[in-house]
Structure 1
Amino acid sequence: MKKLPKTLKLILIFALVQLILHTIGEYTICGIFYSMEGQGILEHQLLMFSAITGDVFIGLGLFVLLAFVNKRSDWFLDKWQRKDIVIYLLYSILIAFYFEIHALHTGRWGYQANMPLVPGTPIGLVPVVHLLIILPLSLIITKKIYQSKFA
């Protein structure tokens, strides 16, 4: 990995970190808060694979957006600026709302009675908080890995 360009190293580390964190998060959250009645094991695993890969691509989209705004792919190795935090918050919340509404509307999944909802909406609070936590945590872990191995 030493011969790869810095941007590619950062993207690969970030994608791998996200894959691990989203896998843990999705399997934990789905078992507690989601209702997927009528699904067989294969159908459930395909849905989980889809959710996890979707989450990873959501994170990569944020990575690319913030790299574009900051005009450099390693922007998060320094202290985050206010604009980075605002973009990350808006992006995470809007994306989480969109995918939850879409999945609920199409019947892709439903919520158990214990799922807390975002006040005034039918959207589960847990998946929104999941993205709000996992995306910056992935960047922080990526930064630590990159600095310990490649800096």
Structure 2
Amino acid sequence: MGGEITETILLRASIADAIIIILLTLPFVLVASLRKRSWLIIPIGVLISICIELYALNTGRWAYNEYMPIIPILSVGLTPTIQLGLLGYLSYFVFSKQ
């Protein structure tokens, strides 16, 4: 891996993130008993992110530069790790207000 990051690669990654966020939040929208536990979107999203980051790092799909804050015990980047959880919850929050 380690090739040039093209717009096509970024588009595919963005679409994959959007699909993951939809699949993460959909049960909380559709299942009434989960609506009061919507806070679970954040830790579930973070867990999914950790798995994706560890897989990508271990298979050489990407690496971090010196500016990426690293979570010490996990050795994964901070911002990509919290991204899915926070965006998932924000998406749920915006959708549920309509």
- Tell me the TM-score normalized by structure 2: 0.79
Structure 1 position 68, deviation (Å):
5.2
- Give the unaligned 5+ runs of structure 2: none
Q: Indicate yes or no: 2:52 matched with 1:90.
A: no
> Could you list the runs of 5+ residues in structure 1 that have no partner in the other structure?
1-35, 76-80
What is the rounded CA distance, in whole Å, between the counterparts of 2:74 and 2:95 in structure 1? 34
Q: Which residue of 2 aligns with 1:135?
A: 88
| Offset at residue 58 of structure 1 (A) | 0.9
Report if the CA contact (8 A) 2:46-2:81 is conserved. yes
Larger Rg: 1
Distance 2:16 2:69 in 1: 22
Runs of 4+ that moved beyond 3 A: none
**Percent identity for Structure 1 against Structure 2:** 29
Listed as ranges, the matches of 1:63-74 within 5 Å are: 63-67=25-29, 69-70=31-32
Aligned counterparts of 1:69 and 1:90: Cα–Cα separation in 2: 18
The answer to whether structure 1 residue 121 and structure 2 residue 74 are counterparts is yes
Distance in 2, Cα, partners of 1:119 & 1:110: 15
